[in-house]
């Protein structure tokens, strides 16, 4: 299977102190590159799809290093624009036990935030493409980024691509009100909506009844009305939601639910001892896209996405360096971590 999939968004330079240090302790930063849609693109390339990532990056060495990070793992960078002054940066402290991970964004005025709709020829980008994916981060970057996003989804639909959106609400980028307004307009062109246990509430005010996210316990069934309401309100074909129960920063219970407009599916739950949870949601989205493109059954689609994202948590960095085969080993029930030798 080598269908062409396009994702669009911001890839950032990620700087994190090694070994559970806090920033005030660090004398070195681990260097990674990542961002919601870029992370999805990496996964899809790993799964053998023809994966294109569209963004705008400054024409200097850091911009080039971001391009290289994508190329290195097989993502096609042909449509990446070069220009602007800076790449977005985020500083990440990896949490442990009762200490949460901490993110400091320094992404204002990034090259992609300053993109304007006319910069990208979406007709060309979408030639022969089957799928377009973006997240709620991209329209949150700036008004012009939101307009560019809107143009993208319109052209995508005109060209009969499937469009998926991970709601991915970021309170440091915009208010719920603005998110609601901008995202609502975009949702008209979205076929498949993805979110975490909070996104629907934060962006669209659709709350899972009886759920208190901060207390940890998450009842999957509480998300059936959320999914139904999303489908009703926006005419989505399908809705998928990840459920993260945070025992602590070191241990999470991870699962997901999926509604295909007809039936509601819940996944198995994974008790994960975490290496790096950033990109977990993106790995879920990518697993979902792959499994849907592979025409799997709804339960299998959900299980694949959850298993793929479970494995992401065991890897440092934003990217999910696992293959379809490795996910299927986990799906087959082998969670024992036995070494093959």
Site for a second copy in 85-104 (CB under 8 A): 85-86, 89, 91, 93, 95-104
Q: How far is the CB of 106 from a second copy (least distance, A)?
A: 5
Query: Could you please report the per-residue DSSP string of 179-203?
Result: HHHHHHHHHTT-SEEEE-TTHHHHH
Q: Which of residues 31-50 bind a second copy (CB under 8 A)?
A: 31
CA atoms within 13 A on the CB side of 330: 22
Decide whether 106 or 201 has the Cβ nearer to a second copy.
Answer: 106
Stretch that binds a second copy, among 121-129, 153-161, 222-230, 332-340 (CB under 8 A): 332-340
CB 97 within 8 A of CB 124: no
Query: Could you please report the per-residue DSSP string of 141-179?
Result: H-HHHHHHHHHHHHHHHHTT-EEEEE----TTT--HHHH
341 counts as binding a second copy under rule CB under 8 A: yes
249 counts as binding a second copy under rule CB under 8 A: yes
Among 3, 79, 81, 106, binds a second copy (CB under 8 A): 106
Q: Which of residues 257-286 bind a second copy (CB under 8 A)?
A: 270-275, 277-278
Q: Using the 8-state DSSP alphabet, how is residue 278 labeled?
A: T
Decide whether 1 or 100 has the Cβ nearer to a second copy.
Answer: 100
105 counts as binding a second copy under rule CB under 8 A: yes
Classify residue 168 as left (phi > 0), alpha (psi -120 to 50) or beta: left
340 counts as binding a second copy under rule CB under 8 A: yes
Decide whether 229 or 326 has the Cβ nearer to a second copy.
Answer: 326
Q: How far is the CB of 335 from a second copy (least distance, A)?
A: 5
Among 5, 6, 12, 15, binds a second copy (CB under 8 A): 15
314 counts as binding a second copy under rule CB under 8 A: yes
**First and final CA of the chain: distance in angstroms?**
30
**Binding-residue total with a second copy (CB under 8 A):** 87
Tokens of 18: 């090694």
Q: How far is CA 238 from the centre of its chain?
A: 16
Ranges of beta strands (E only) in 167-302 are 192-195, 238-246, 251-259, 264-266, 270-273
């Amino acid at each position: 299977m080598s269908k062409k999939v396009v994702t669009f968004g911001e890839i950032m330079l990620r700087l994190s102190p090694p070994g559970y240090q806090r920033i005030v302790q660090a004398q070195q930063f681990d260097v990674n590159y990542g961002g919601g849609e870029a992370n999805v693109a990496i996964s899809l390339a790993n799964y053998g799809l023809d994966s294109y990532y569209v963004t705008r990056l400054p024409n200097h060495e850091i911009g080039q290093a971001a391009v290289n990070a994508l190329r290195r793992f097989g993502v096609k960078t042909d449509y990446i624009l070069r220009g602007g002054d800076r790449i977005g940066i985020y500083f990440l402290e990896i949490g442990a036990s009762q200490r949460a991970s901490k993110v400091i964004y320094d992404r204002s005025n990034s090259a992609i935030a300053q993109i304007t709709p006319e910069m990208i020829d979406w007709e060309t980008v979408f030639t022969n493409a089957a799928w377009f994916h973006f997240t709620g981060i991209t329209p949150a970057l700036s008004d012009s980024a939101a307009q560019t996003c809107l143009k993208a989804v319109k052209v995508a639909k005109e060209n009969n691509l499937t469009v998926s959106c991970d709601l991915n609400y970021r309170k440091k980028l915009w208010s719920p009100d603005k998110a609601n307004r901008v995202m609502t307009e975009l949702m008209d062109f979205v076929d498949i909506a993805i979110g975490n246990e909070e996104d629907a509430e934060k962006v669209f005010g659709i709350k899972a009844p009886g759920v208190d996210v901060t207390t940890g316990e998450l009842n999957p069934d509480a998300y059936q009305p959320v999914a139904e309401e999303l489908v009703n309100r926006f005419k989505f074909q399908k809705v998928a939601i990840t459920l993260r129960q945070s025992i602590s920063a070191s241990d999470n219970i991870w699962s997901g639910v999926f509604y295909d407009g007809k039936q509601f599916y819940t996944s198995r739950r994974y008790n994960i001892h975490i290496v790096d949870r950033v990109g977990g949601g993106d790995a879920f989205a990518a697993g979902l896209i792959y499994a849907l493109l592979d025409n799997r059954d709804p339960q299998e689609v959900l299980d694949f996405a959850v298993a793929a994202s479970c494995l992401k948590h065991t890897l440092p960095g934003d990217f999910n360096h696992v293959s379809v085969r490795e996910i299927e080993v986990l799906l087959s029930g082998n969670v024992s971590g036995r070494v093959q030798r």
